[in-house]
Amino acid sequence: MDSTFGEKFGIGQPVRRKEDQRLLKGGGKYTDDVSIPGQAHLAFVRAAVAHARLKGIDGTAALKGPGVLGVFSGKDMEADGIGRVITDAALKDLSGKVMFRTKRLAMPVDKIRYAGEPIAVVVAETAAQARDAAELVQVDYEELPAVVTARQGLAKGAPAIHDEQPDNLCLHYENATSEAYDAAAKQAARIASIELVNNRVIPVPMEPKCCVADMDTKSGRLTFYAPTQGGRRVQGAVAEMLFGGDGDKVRHVSDNTGGGFGTRSKIYPEILATCYAAKKLGRAVKWSGDRSETMVSDLHGRDQVDRAELALDANGKILGYKVEMLANIGAWVTENGARLPIDGGGRIVGGLYDIPVLYFSCKAVMTNTVPTDTYRGAGRPEANFLIDRLVEKAAREMGIDIREMRKRNYITSFPYRTQMGLTIDSGNFAKCQDEACKTIGWDDFPARRKQSEARGRLRGIGMTSFIEGSGGRPEETMRLRFEKDGKLSVICGTFSHGQGHATVYSQLLHDKLGMPFDAVSLIQGDTDTAPEGAAGTFGSRSSQMGSMAIIGAANIIVEKGKKIAGHLLQAPPTEVKFEGGNFVARAGSISITEIAKAAHDPAKLPEGMEPGLDETFVYKRANGRDDMNYPNGCHICEVEVDPETGHIEILDFAAADDCGFVLNPLIVHGQVHGGIAQGIGQALTEYLVYDEETGQLLTGTFMDYGMPRAHHFPDMKAVFSPTMSTNNDLGVKGAGEAGACGAPTAFVHAVLDALRPLGVEHIEMPLTPNRVWQAIQAAKRKGAA
Amino acid sequence: MYAFNYHRPKSLDEAAGLVAKAEDGKLVAGGMTLLPSMKLRLASPSDLVDLSSVDGLKGITVSGKTVTIGAMTRHVDVHTSADVQKAIPALAALAGGIGDPSVRNRGTMGGSVANSDPAADYPSAVLGLGATVETNKRKIAADDFFKGLFETALEPGEIIKAIHYPVPDAAAYEKFPQPASGYAMVGAFVARFGKDVRVAITGAKDHVFRVPEMEKALAANFKADAIAGIKLSEDDMLSDIHCSADYRAHLVSVIAKRAVAKAGG
């Protein structure tokens, strides 16, 4: 392959992913590919009911099963002094009271809080023996009425999920009192309001949850394999709970992870329980979770019931915005359960609109359902969906063109300080909108609608503009190491589980250090090699946090290299230039790989210089939360609805995204496409149903839970309309979650546009054929009445 | 999956004997329903009697106005058969729309028909074409075959050998899939033999059924419009999270109409 320095492999180029050959040919190494000689197998006993007082777990019969090595429950863990995972978020209400935080043992000892909750493990010589014996475990419980929805949770007299918090309210967050909004509303020429559901979804990564825990009894060290989005935090939790906080005793390895979407960034009871069993039995234990288990135990996403109101002047300019969210955070307060709607989404609750006055209230409510946590977008899709649905509704009610309405309200001057205290640094939202309109051919839509009409179909076009806040944790570490063969290794704090980091980081180092594209490789997914402070990949952060840490290290290497080269070429470092991978002075030129070798020979170094050219860099955002980056965009969707059946066909989708500087357009397009597909999944097919009386998940298999498929999508038209982020030197903004922030709203707007002639004004997501048809019938009845 | 005994007999008699002898024996054809149920531990037969090596159960023959398809013929073979495509293109198309390529490469016609899943595609073709189900014991007319939810006229030890389909003058199958599984939420098989018309609906009730009022209207006038006004009662329609009974009843009219249009009416 041509790897000479040049434009082909530099940043900004559409370089094909170097990891694909391996991954597509089955060369990935996932957790279930790992087997340790002599390993035992583990099966979980899961709660059959959603809410019950746990009276006893009897493993006597199971222990007699063939090959059974052990049966353990939360009681055993408690007896062994195992700690609990305590919610780390500590948000406060207006009075300063800290939110309710749960202390979760891997398996409960007092109560069952959701159907599918792990309550005991059986370890046996084979997986089949473990499963068979798991069925023999006797669980004695006293069933309690189940609380399934947030509204049920807040109802007077509702059963308490946690006895310590009888009202099931984890936190009622408010940014301020509603006084300022109420005053703005009094001045308003018009009030527009909306009430809608942001439906719960199951994340469904391709790889089910699983774990292999290998206990080395001689060294007392546990190595565990489990899919994650960066292992340090999970390693830390295992060390905390099982090894008294001694991190040296625990190693986590995850070569490849088959999809993350946020749900793989968390600490799972199943992982802790598998590690516990391995430690307890002093041997390797493998748990291969199946799809059915994954559906009821992976943290779910979304689940809000939202009400919002806009106070507007006569021209449609927003004077104030009032939001009341009810977020169903499920049975346990997980890491981001309550933080997600309040901070993840709340931080951009006004979207990309100029909101002078804001009242934002969010009640995070506990229920007998799988806990909810981060899922692609993590609060931002919910916030954007709400504000943009309402802006569009207000435009229609006021008779203002929906494009004009948005333009009247976009934030146009930067930096812009939002009511939630964030500073949005850059963007050109009107330009994005114009680009999207041009891409889809907005102005020619009426002609296309006529063509559809001739076929008996209703055509609709829908738009949305959105913004999100990316960057996640404000610190990331990268280490660059020159190998003996002249190649360069990137020892990562981030973790690529589909993002294409091997390609993008190679491009960066090709650009910054002149390394041949093929001479750069990634080392990731092992806490023994990951640099201190490695955070991982989530919240669309690696393009900024990972890249900036790499550049930081590369800059130091270049400066040091200049000194060494100057020493060897007998030129002052200031006269050494670094060009295309070579240090050039009047007397000659030395390549970076030669300098890297020379750096290990003290004789070749300037006096007093530390040997070696390797470098570790910790990139910190100066201002933590505030100087994240703000990806945004305008998405437009065009659909056809079959009014006889309610079937929806997506005919076209245009996305004009502002992801700042685009490191690799091929990869960013892939992210945009994937995000759109996932967003459409939530809006069209992913119908998740809990039985509201029993708390049983009725859509626990793909026979009932509808995943989006290739046939649902047209060729998507993704274009870039970038403005550079001023918060990092590269100008990059995240790209992973934008699609999921825009697609649901654009799609729903398109369907409502198609159905408007029939009098349909609102349909909750997902827009299943049944719901679409029922909405049409209801509108017909209303029209006839 | 629980442990079970596995048998691969060479003849139908041997197969029937093995099932009769077993404590809870099950025949397995393509296994597209049975095996997933076993994997989920929802089914736990003591014995599986695999029909894949029984002679004479596979293949397609056309003789005069009859297409005969062996019970163990896979969906993909029906779909790609030039003979079926020529004689009853609607049947070939139906087979090509079952499940996904993996299912079509394993699943068999006999397995599907014997299972009588309320949302399966094949039963509508058997009933819609007025086929004859030939077993190791007798021949059963389609009208007498499907009895209820997962229930057929097959007696214990009775095994489907082949299905004989009369060749219609025109036919078509149309389905509206359940959004998650792709099974028919409503499927309509319409066939015209001279002036006689048969309309079979799958997915809507606990088993496939005919719609006499539509057949009568179409016999008089084989046009989609002829049945546009015919609405079925929602009373005995299936109702689930994907499709309420009223919507299903409505879909029956729409999908049947579209099937007629597809069949040239």
Interface with chain B: mutation pick from A295, A686, A770, A780, highest number of B CBs within 10 Å: A770
ipTM score: 0.96
B186: closest chain A residue by CA: A645
Q: According to the model, what pLDDT value does residue A700 have?
A: 96
The domain ranges of chain A are 164-209+298-417, 425-471+626-785, 473-620
Q: What is the 3-state secondary structure (H, E, C) of A667-679?
A: HHHHHHHHHHHHH
Q: According to the model, what pLDDT value does residue A485 have?
A: 87
B179 in A contact zone (CB under 8 Å):
yes
Contact A559, A286 (CB under 8 A): no
B247 in A contact zone (CB under 8 Å):
yes
Which of the four pLDDT bands, split at 50, 70 and 90, describes residue A199? Answer: very high
Question: What does the pLDDT look like over B148-183, one tens digit per residue?
Answer: 999 999 999 999 999 999 999 999 999 999 999 999
Contact A374, A301 (CB under 8 A): yes
> Mean pLDDT, to the nearest integer, of A461-480?
93
Contact A277, A123 (CB under 8 A): yes
B82 in A contact zone (CB under 8 Å):
no
Is the bond into A415 cis (omega within 30 degrees of 0)?
yes
Question: What does the pLDDT look like over A55-85, one tens digit per residue?
Answer: 999 999 999 999 999 999 999 999 999 989 8
Is B244–A770 a contact, with Cβ atoms under 8 angstroms apart? yes
Is B180–A687 a contact, with Cβ atoms under 8 angstroms apart? yes
Contact A96, A21 (CB under 8 A): no
The tokens for A523 are 């080392």
Question: What does the pLDDT look like over B180-234, one tens digit per residue?
Answer: 999 999 999 999 999 999 999 999 999 999 999 999 999 999 999 999 999 999 9
Question: What does the pLDDT look like over A106-165, one tens digit per residue?
Answer: 999 999 999 999 999 999 999 999 999 999 999 999 999 999 999 999 999 999 999 999
A708: closest chain B residue by CA: B180
The answer to whether residue A604 scores a pLDDT higher than 60 is yes
The answer to whether residue A274 scores a pLDDT higher than 60 is yes
Is A703–B181 a contact, with Cβ atoms under 8 angstroms apart? yes
Is B251–A645 a contact, with Cβ atoms under 8 angstroms apart? yes
Question: What does the pLDDT look like over B48-90, one tens digit per residue?
Answer: 999 999 999 999 999 999 999 999 999 999 999 999 999 999 9
Q: Where are the beta strands (DSSP E) in A659-752?
A: 717-720
B122 in A contact zone (CB under 8 Å):
no
Interface with chain A: mutation pick from B32, B103, B242, highest number of A CBs within 10 Å: B242
Q: Is A570 buried (19+), middle (13-18) or exposed (0-12) by CB count in 10 A?
A: exposed
The tokens for A612 are 């070696």
Is B176–A647 a contact, with Cβ atoms under 8 angstroms apart? yes
Interface with chain A: mutation pick from B174, B247, B257, highest number of A CBs within 10 Å: B247
The answer to whether residue A624 scores a pLDDT higher than 70 is no
How far apart are the CA of A773 and the nearest CA of chain B, in angstroms?
7
Q: According to the model, what pLDDT value does residue A627 have?
A: 81
- Looking at beta carbons, which residues of chain B come within 8 Å of A645? 176, 251, 254-255
Architecture in CATH for domain B170-262 = 2-Layer Sandwich (3.30)
Phi (first) and psi of residue A715, to 5 degrees: -65, 120
> Which residue among A645, A647, A702 places its CB closest to the CB of B180?
A702
Percent of chain A with pLDDT over 70: 99
In the three-class reduction of DSSP (H, G, I as helix; E, B as strand; rest coil), residue A460 is classed as strand
Nearest to A118, CA basis, from A109, A128, A130: A109
In the three-class reduction of DSSP (H, G, I as helix; E, B as strand; rest coil), residue A709 is classed as coil
Taking only residues 1 to 30 of chain B, the set having a beta carbon closer than 8 angstroms to any beta carbon of chain A reads 1-3
CATH of B60-166, one of 3.30.465.10, 3.40.190.10, 3.40.50.150, 1.10.645.10: 3.30.465.10
> Mean pLDDT, to the nearest integer, of A10-28?
94
Which of the four pLDDT bands, split at 50, 70 and 90, describes residue A5? Answer: very low
A703: closest chain B residue by CA: B181
Could you tell me which CATH number the domain at A425-471+626-785 has? 3.30.365.10
CA distances from A194 to A51, A308, A391, A462, A763 (A): 33, 5, 10, 18, 12
Q: How many angstroms separate the CA atoms of A473 and A545, rounded?
A: 9
- Looking at beta carbons, which residues of chain A come within 8 Å of B241? 687, 689, 698-699, 704
How far apart are the CA of A324 and the nearest CA of chain B, in angstroms?
29
Count of other CB atoms within 10 angstroms of residue A86: 11
Is B180–A705 a contact, with Cβ atoms under 8 angstroms apart? yes
What CATH topology corresponds to B5-53?
3.30.43
In the three-class reduction of DSSP (H, G, I as helix; E, B as strand; rest coil), residue A104 is classed as strand
How far apart are the CA of A701 and the nearest CA of chain B, in angstroms?
9
Contact B90, B263 (CB under 8 A): yes
The helix (run of H) or strand (run of E) holding residue A295 is helix A291-297
The domain ranges of chain B are 5-53, 60-166, 170-262
> Which residue among B183, B241, B254 places its CB closest to the CB of A645?
B254
Contact B248, B237 (CB under 8 A): yes
CA distances from A354 to A409, A626, A632, A653 (A): 6, 18, 15, 27
The answer to whether residue A2 scores a pLDDT higher than 90 is no
Residues from A in contact with B at Cβ < 8 Å: 128, 131-132, 292, 644-647, 685, 687, 689, 698-699, 702-707, 768-770, 773-774, 777
How far apart are the CA of A57 and the nearest CA of chain B, in angstroms?
22
How far apart are the CA of B251 and the nearest CA of chain A, in angstroms?
7
Phi (first) and psi of residue B253, to 5 degrees: -65, -45
Q: According to the model, what pLDDT value does residue A246 have?
A: 95
> Mean pLDDT, to the nearest integer, of A573-601?
94
Give every strand in the sheet of A68-73, ordered side by side. A68-73, A118-124, A40-46, A285-288, A210-216, A221-225, A250-253
Mean pLDDT of chain A: 95
B242 in A contact zone (CB under 8 Å):
yes
In the three-class reduction of DSSP (H, G, I as helix; E, B as strand; rest coil), residue A211 is classed as strand
- Looking at beta carbons, which residues of chain B come within 8 Å of A647? 176
Q: How many angstroms separate the CA atoms of A725 and A469, rounded?
A: 12
What CATH topology corresponds to A473-620?
Aldehyde Oxidoreductase; domain 4 (3.30.365)
- Looking at beta carbons, which residues of chain B come within 8 Å of A132? 2
Question: What does the pLDDT look like over A686-724, one tens digit per residue?
Answer: 999 999 999 999 999 999 999 999 999 999 999 999 999
Q: Which residues contact B229 (CB under 8 A, 6 or more apart)?
A: none
Is B179–A698 a contact, with Cβ atoms under 8 angstroms apart? no
Q: According to the model, what pLDDT value does residue A41 have?
A: 98
Q: How many angstroms separate the CA atoms of A153 and A150, rounded?
A: 5
> Which residue among B1, B179, B183 places its CB closest to the CB of A769?
B179
Question: What does the pLDDT look like over A321-379, one tens digit per residue?
Answer: 999 999 999 999 999 999 999 999 999 999 999 999 999 999 999 999 999 999 999 99
- Looking at beta carbons, which residues of chain B come within 8 Å of A698? 241
- Looking at beta carbons, which residues of chain B come within 8 Å of A292? 40
Nearest to A348, CA basis, from A423, A253, A261: A423
Q: According to the model, what pLDDT value does residue A88 have?
A: 87
The tokens for A760 are 């349909």
Architecture in CATH for domain A164-209+298-417 = 2-Layer Sandwich (3.30)
Q: How many angstroms separate the CA atoms of A582 and A705, rounded?
A: 56
Q: How many angstroms separate the CA atoms of A70 and A134, rounded?
A: 11
CA distances from A510 to A227, A513, A541, A614 (A): 30, 6, 21, 16
> Which residue among A292, A707, A768 places its CB closest to the CB of B242?
A768
The answer to whether residue A45 scores a pLDDT higher than 90 is yes
B42 in A contact zone (CB under 8 Å):
no
Contact A358, A349 (CB under 8 A): yes
Phi (first) and psi of residue A372, to 5 degrees: -105, 150
The tokens for A316 are 């449609």
Is A645–B244 a contact, with Cβ atoms under 8 angstroms apart? no
Which of the four pLDDT bands, split at 50, 70 and 90, describes residue A1? Answer: very low
> Mean pLDDT, to the nearest integer, of B239-249?
98
Q: How many angstroms separate the CA atoms of B263 and A231, rounded?
A: 59
Is B241–A689 a contact, with Cβ atoms under 8 angstroms apart? yes
Q: According to the model, what pLDDT value does residue B83 have?
A: 98
How far apart are the CA of A125 and the nearest CA of chain B, in angstroms?
16
B249: closest chain A residue by CA: A645
> Which residue among A132, A770, A774 places its CB closest to the CB of B242?
A770
Q: According to the model, what pLDDT value does residue B206 have?
A: 97
Q: According to the model, what pLDDT value does residue A228 have?
A: 95
Task: Say which residue the tokens 């993590």 belong to.
Answer: A378
Q: What is the 3-state secondary structure (H, E, C) of chain B?
A: CCCCEEECCCCHHHHHHHHHHCCCEEEECCCCCHHHHHHCCCCCCCEEEEHHHCCCCCCEEEECCEEEEECCCEHHHHHHCHHHHHHCHHHHHHHHCCCCHHHHHHCEHHHHHHHCCCCCCHHHHHHHCCCEEEECCCEEEHHHHEEECCEECCCCCCCEEEEEEECCCEEEEEEEECCCCCCEEEEEEEEEECCEEEEEEECCCCCCEECHHHHHHHHHCCCHHHHCCCCCCCCCCCCECCECHHHHHHHHHHHHHHHHHHCCC
Question: What does the pLDDT look like over A365-417, one tens digit per residue?
Answer: 999 999 999 999 999 999 999 999 999 999 999 999 999 999 999 999 999 99
Nearest to B143, CA basis, from B158, B153, B155, B157: B153
Q: According to the model, what pLDDT value does residue A3 have?
A: 42
Which of the four pLDDT bands, split at 50, 70 and 90, describes residue A784? Answer: confident
Contacts across the A-B interface (CB distance below 8 Å): 51
Interface with chain B: mutation pick from A132, A645, A701, A774, highest number of B CBs within 10 Å: A645
Q: What is the 3-state secondary structure (H, E, C) of A107-170?
A: CCCCEECCCCCEEEEEEECCHHHHHHHHCCCEEEEEECCCCCCHHHHHCCCCCCCCCCCCCCEE
